[in-house]
Amino acid sequence: MPPTEKLVSSPQNDWVKEIVELRKDGEARRERQRFFLEGRKAVEAALEADGAAIHELVYCEHLWRDESWGGVVEKARAQDVPLVRVSKDVFRKLADVMEPQGLAAVVKMAAWTLEDLLAKPDALIVVACGIQDPGNLGTIVRSLEACGGAGLVSLENTADAYNAKVIRSTAAALLSLPIVRAKTGDFLKEAARRKLRLAATAAADGVAYKAFDWKKRPLALCIGSEGEGLPVAVEQACGERVTIPMRGRAESLNAAVAASILLFEAQSR
């Protein structure tokens, strides 16, 4: 049977309110286990990703740059993805950007667990500890996926990985990268049980990243916020520290820049 398709023309429609809530509210995303993804490239990536399950594709042909964009809708139709055709006013209300492209999707979150992530014997994992800037978190996700990392553990006070700004920064990398939210105590307990190697990123007094042993896995690279650093419990649990030597006057690097440097150094070993 062909996929279901509905038309929504009023910005006051209850369905519109639900999607806007999904885009804005992390609690709503976690409760429904879905997130809002917009833009042609992101939607195409979702259609092609093995692990992505699209709940519905939303489109407004009046916002497309040319007729070829309709091919994305046809691809979704061929995959039996439910379609929602909307008016310009509706799509602009749904969108998180000033100039929406007329293509978006509601995507189901993958059901990864902490146990799944830590069970990989050769895993390279990033533990995000209080990284609140969505752009930084998105860049870390993007670099982690690009270097072949196993996944991300997101601890308390870290930006929601499915926040619209994070999604834009990831360039759809989160569609294939396992991401798990966890409480610090639960993560540290499971890490200790599995004898997971924990390394703290430090501005100084750590092993220079070129001399660090990146080969011994599984390895979790713990990255804190620029302002607060790592939580005390995580800092104390880390058996090693790794540092990027600097010659200038800057006290520290941007968290996403530092993470990217370290991840690609790990990949090269």
Residue 51: pLDDT band (50, 70, 90) is low
Q: What is the mean pLDDT of the chain?
A: 92
- Domain hosting 208: range is 114-268
Q: Looking at 58, 74, 108, which one is the last position of a domain?
A: 108
DSSP string, 235-257: HHH-SEEEE----SS-S---HHH
Is the same domain home to 85 and 123?
Answer: no
Amino acid at 44: E
Residue 247: pLDDT band (50, 70, 90) is confident
Residue 223: pLDDT band (50, 70, 90) is very high
End-to-end CA distance of the chain: 50
Across 130-135, average pLDDT? 94
Measured from the Cβ of residue 53, the count of other Cβ atoms closer than 10 Å reads 12
pLDDT at 183: 96
Q: Looking at 108, 143, 175, which one is the last position of a domain?
A: 108
Pairing of strands 103-108, 179-181: unpaired
Is the pLDDT at 269 greater than 80? The verdict is no
Is 139 within 8 Å of 168 (Cβ atoms)?
Answer: no
The strand pairing partners of 222, in sequence order, are 127, 200
CATH number at 67 reads 3.30.1330.30
pLDDT at 2: 54
Is the pLDDT at 255 greater than 50? The verdict is yes
Higher pLDDT, 65 or 21: 21
Sign of the CA dihedral 22, 28, 30, 31?
A: negative
Is the pLDDT at 221 greater than 80? The verdict is yes
| Total domain count, the chain | 2
Is the pLDDT at 153 greater than 50? The verdict is yes
Q: How far apart are CA 68 and CA 91, in angstroms?
A: 19
Is the same domain home to 135 and 217?
Answer: yes
Radius of gyration of the chain (CA): 20
Model pTM greater than 0.75? yes
Amino acid at 223: I
Which stretches of the chain are assigned E, i.e. beta strand?
Answer: 5-8, 34-38, 53-59, 83-86, 103-108, 124-129, 151-154, 179-181, 197-201, 207-208, 219-224, 240-243
pLDDT at 1: 45
Q: How far apart are CA 167 and CA 35, in angstroms?
A: 10
Using a 10 angstrom Cβ sphere, with 0-12 exposed, 13-18 middle and 19 or more buried, the burial of residue 136 is: buried
Q: How far apart are CA 13 and CA 244, in angstroms?
A: 52
CATH number at 240 reads 3.40.1280.10
Q: Looking at 61, 81, 108, which one is the last position of a domain?
A: 108
Is the same domain home to 154 and 27?
Answer: no
Across 210-225, average pLDDT? 95
Q: Which range is least confidently modeled, 52-56, 60-64, 105-109?
A: 52-56
Residue 3: pLDDT band (50, 70, 90) is low
The proportion of the chain whose per-residue pLDDT surpasses 70, expressed as a percent, equals 98
Across 22-49, average pLDDT? 94
